[in-house]
Structure 1
Amino acid sequence: MASGATREAILNAALKIVAQGGLEAMTVSRLAEVSGASNGSIYHHFGSRGGIVGALYRESFAELVGAMLPALDERPARTVVPELAGRFLDWVVARPTRAEFVYRASVAGLIEEDGKAAFKARTMAPLVEWFDKRTACGELRPVPAWALDAVVMAPVHECARRYLAEPGAFDLKAVRPEVEHAVWAIVRP
């Protein structure tokens, strides 16, 4: 396998293993078995199991934020903010394995904290910039940057977690309008 293909195969294997058996099931030997890569290749690309978790987390989180970014335009904030919430939920429905990984890995303490905050700040910078611009012109109430993910998107996170915890228990698309309304209610002036 080419270097890029090996790296991708290892990350895909990690997702598959986590989906089937949780984070605890993702060992280097299991990754080698599922991906077809050697142990040495795994260590070469990622340095450790933690390196794989971190790389997969960063890739998945960036993909999630990337799914939201097309909503950021010059439309009124009352239109864009609910769409951001809806796009997040759509990503969870379309990519449940990655979504579940993002939630599991972020609370399991497996992601090295060194650099995590800087990575999230860089990744979310377009969202923060858009919110800052709309706050400055009075379209949104002031919300600190740290609160965009933790507070503003809290209704989205809660519904996503419940959806992922009990697949089929409720229709995430059906609750989307209510979630979008809740997110807008948090930031409307």
Structure 2
Amino acid sequence: MSSSDTGELVTDPPRRRMAREDRHRQLLDMAWQLVSNEGTEALTLGRLAEQSGVTKPVVYDHFGTRGGLLAALYREFDARQTALMDAALQASEPSLASKARVIASSYVECVLLQGREIPGVIAALASSPELERIKRDYQASFIGKCRTVLAPFAGTGAIASAGLWAMLGAAEALSHAAATGEITAAQAEGELFETIVAMVARNASGGVRQA
């Protein structure tokens, strides 16, 4: 309650409870901000509750554990990356150069859009076998998509698994370097593009044993 100018008591309007979906969005946004400002190690459910202005049970209700929160952040990143790449692939020309450029630019661009936060989240996913499996599942999904997109240009119609995993490793390393300013985004995209084209060319020439 508060007092009016006439001295009468005025009842404050009741606070509207935030819808669950809106609260979830608020918590995720604050989690990304915490990682960006203080690093992944500072991201705890208690700290997130404090910064979001809610009680701990609210945060526990949405994520359960710190691992659940990290998994939610990674899923959001993966969904954003998938949507970005799918849209670009659909609009691209049916050539190896075009598809490889889309894969390279989409991967690097999505990491840069998320800033320095996502490398820390990815690293934190290795903290438990369960989280590591989540990361591996999403990596396998990305590799499967790339295999399907690139296979028509491989001659034999198959892409070796070893080459695809090497491509993913290069994508993660180059994107991280671009996010931390060690190289430019253009350099990261260019190097990843060359890596993808060379991988497909090796498969097309039979230079790599097929998995």
TM-score bin (small chain): 0.7 to 0.9
Alignment of 1:29-178 (within 5 A): 29-73=46-90, 75-109=94-128, 112-113=131-132, 116-122=135-141, 125-132=144-151, 134-135=153-154, 138=155, 142-144=159-161, 148=164, 150-164=165-179, 166-167=180-181, 169-178=182-191
**TM-score normalised by length of structure 2:** 0.72
The number of residues matched between the two structures is: 183
| 1:181 aligned residue | 194
SS in 1 for 2:123: helix
Q: Is the 8 A contact 1:82 1:180 kept in 2?
A: yes
AA partner of residue 194 (structure 2): H
Higher relative contact order (CA 8 A, sep 6+): 1
Q: 1:55 to 1:175 in 2, by over 3 A?
A: closer
Q: Is the 8 A contact 1:77 1:134 kept in 2?
A: yes
Rounded Cα–Cα distance in structure 2 between residues aligned with 1:159 and 1:122? 20
Highest Rg: 1 or 2? Answer: 2
Q: Is the 8 A contact 1:89 1:173 kept in 2?
A: no
Residue 51 of structure 1, CA deviation: 0.8
Q: 1:133 to 1:98 in 2, by over 3 A?
A: farther
5+ residue gaps, structure 2, are: 1-17, 205-211
Q: Is the 8 A contact 1:85 1:153 kept in 2?
A: no
Residue 67 of structure 1, CA deviation: 1.8
**TM-score normalised by length of structure 1:** 0.79
Residue 118 of structure 1, CA deviation: 4.1
* Fraction of identical pairs, as percent: 24
Rounded Cα–Cα distance in structure 2 between residues aligned with 1:110 and 1:118? 12
5+ residue gaps, structure 1, are: none
Where do 4+ consecutive residues of structure 1 move more than 6 Å? Answer: none
Rounded Cα–Cα distance in structure 2 between residues aligned with 1:122 and 1:163? 24
- Deviates most, 124-133 or 175-184: 124-133
